[in-house]
Amino acid sequence: MKDFVIVGSGVAGLRAAIEIALKGKKVDIYTKESIDMCNTDKAQGGIAVVLREDDSKESHLQDTIRAGAGLCNEKAVRILVDEGPERVKELIDWGAKFDRRLDGSLDFTREAAHSTNRIVHASGDATGHEVERTLIEMIKKLPIEIHEYCTLVNILCKENAVVGIRILKDSGFEDIPARRVIVATGGYGAVYKHTTNPEVTTGDGIAAAFLAGAVVEDMEFVQFHPTCLHIEGMPAFLLSESIRGEGGILINDSGEPFMHRYHKLKELAPRDIVARSIIFEMQRRGAKHVYLDMRHLYKDFIKKRFPTIYETCLNYGIDITKKPVPIAPAAHYTMGGIKTDEEGRTNIKGLFACGEAACTGVHGANRLASNSILEGLVFGKRAALAAISYEDEPIFNAKPLPVLSMGNAPRNIEQTICEFKATIEKKAGPIRTIKGLEEFLEYGKNLWKEVKDMRNSRQSIELRNMVLIGLLVATSALKRKSSIGAHYCIDTPHLNDKNHISLSYKQLKEFIGEN
């Protein structure tokens, strides 16, 4: 039996594993792809952290709460801003190379909804890759066993306590008995058709925890990044918020700046507002996209500050120093997840969660730019410490579980996934209606009946998880009676709504009428 099992290999999971190993414990990491295939590795912008003398933790806290539309858990935010600087200094001590000025000091930039420059970054626009590289290098020095290409099927419980996980490998199902499980599988951005996320982010950990009895919270809050490369037939590619922080301007198909029509902060308004403003401008102009214009910035600065973005766009035939870039919003970050306390504990004994898979309330209704890697570092460590302090009970002497058959696929999985992604984006995307949400819920209910027991392949398990996540998003959205933050429904009023929408499996079944 394993003492500590972590599912997921992004910043939160790796930081949790390192903490456990540094305390002299053995830990196993299970991940769906290679260890570096995760949202963390793709993150561009940076890490928001108070390391400048003329900045303050109180300012960072207030910016976070303001961006979160007042729905943040202030206790969790205080933990984030208080412990964040030490976690970033740790990274630097472990070898992370952040960009610096000529005098050797850290180079700070600014992103939307921040009141000052407090974003540290690496290789211009490859911060996540540098963070992931640093953590993986640390992992290699410690007694941590990595298991790649393992799809999470179920979290196994008995009497509301974890007894292990069930995974799918090429060889079939395998049950891993475990005393403590930390879910760090990331969010669910890939349930949408247009997303900046890698395809692996299908909400697997959230779905498995929910089916095991964990409560989820704030699932309606899906953040759409405003500026993603939009070329027909091509996947969305993130154009970092830092571009607007450095002076990039949004223009419409006539070359006119338009953000002044929608918010006083223009390009530096909170992400949800910028994303909706772009959609409204596209609708007003009858256009499929708008443009991000950097031509007024120095060419050498653009190439040095945003090398990944520059090279990627060049591969698509767009020189961002000479031409504006066609962009449109795409699903990017999910604020909802497994409900935890500030230590990563869930309502299931021995089950912990951290990072984007968890919901501590730190992001409220809308994440502040560049708080996500910081959250993974801070709460990854805290979840690890809580897991170490957890004492299991004799309940773990469980009888062997029955072996599952692979089952059958009653429909074309790939086609169904494509249809599902397009449907949820249309009905439960950045701009919603009551009718659209109800139509999606009916569609999702019928599909769930077909897919909930499917497990003949990784794709079928992912489809099961995506449909379940979709039901949770739509149900939570319909239960919320006002528009706030990333949940924007044109049929509901804009109120200072302080409520959180929590759901258990029993509550979901009652809402969708499942027996």
Phi, psi of 31 (to 5 degrees): -140, 150
Return the bridge partners of 233, or none. Answer: none
> Cα(327)–Cα(277) distance, rounded to whole angstroms?
13
Over its C-alpha atoms, the chain yields an Rg (Å, rounded) of 22
> Cα(71)–Cα(383) distance, rounded to whole angstroms?
22
CB atoms within 10 A of CB 57: 16
Q: How far apart are the first and last CA of the chain?
A: 35
Which token pair is 54? 């003329």
> Cα(412)–Cα(282) distance, rounded to whole angstroms?
34
CB atoms within 10 A of CB 428: 28
Contact 131, 10 (CB under 8 A): no
Contact 71, 364 (CB under 8 A): yes
> Cα(154)–Cα(212) distance, rounded to whole angstroms?
7
> Cα(470)–Cα(421) distance, rounded to whole angstroms?
9
Q: Which entry of 15, 118, 244, 271 is annotated as an active-site residue?
A: 271
- B/e letters for 188-219, b = 16+ CB within 10 Å, e = fewer, are bbbbbbbbbbbebbbbbbbbbbbbbbbbbbbb
- Which residues make Cβ contacts (< 8 Å) with residue 303, sequence separation at least 6? 310, 321
Return the closest-CA partner of residue 496 out of 481, 506, 509, 508.
Answer: 481
> Cα(139)–Cα(143) distance, rounded to whole angstroms?
8
Residue type, 377: L
Does residue 271 carry a catalytic annotation?
yes
> Cα(176)–Cα(288) distance, rounded to whole angstroms?
48
Phi/psi region, residue 156 (left: phi>0; alpha: psi -120 to 50; beta: rest), is beta
Task: Give the β-pairing of 144-147 and 27-30.
Answer: parallel
Label residue 76 exposed, middle or buried (CB < 10 Å: 0-12, 13-18, 19+).
Answer: buried
Phi, psi of 410 (to 5 degrees): -80, 0
**Greatest CA separation for the chain:** 69
Which token pair is 43? 């993150």
Q: Coil, strand, or helix at residue 429?
A: coil
> Cα(336)–Cα(218) distance, rounded to whole angstroms?
4
CB atoms within 10 A of CB 406: 13
Q: H or E segment at 471?
A: helix 458-479
Which token pair is 457? 């392949």
Which positions are catalytic? 271
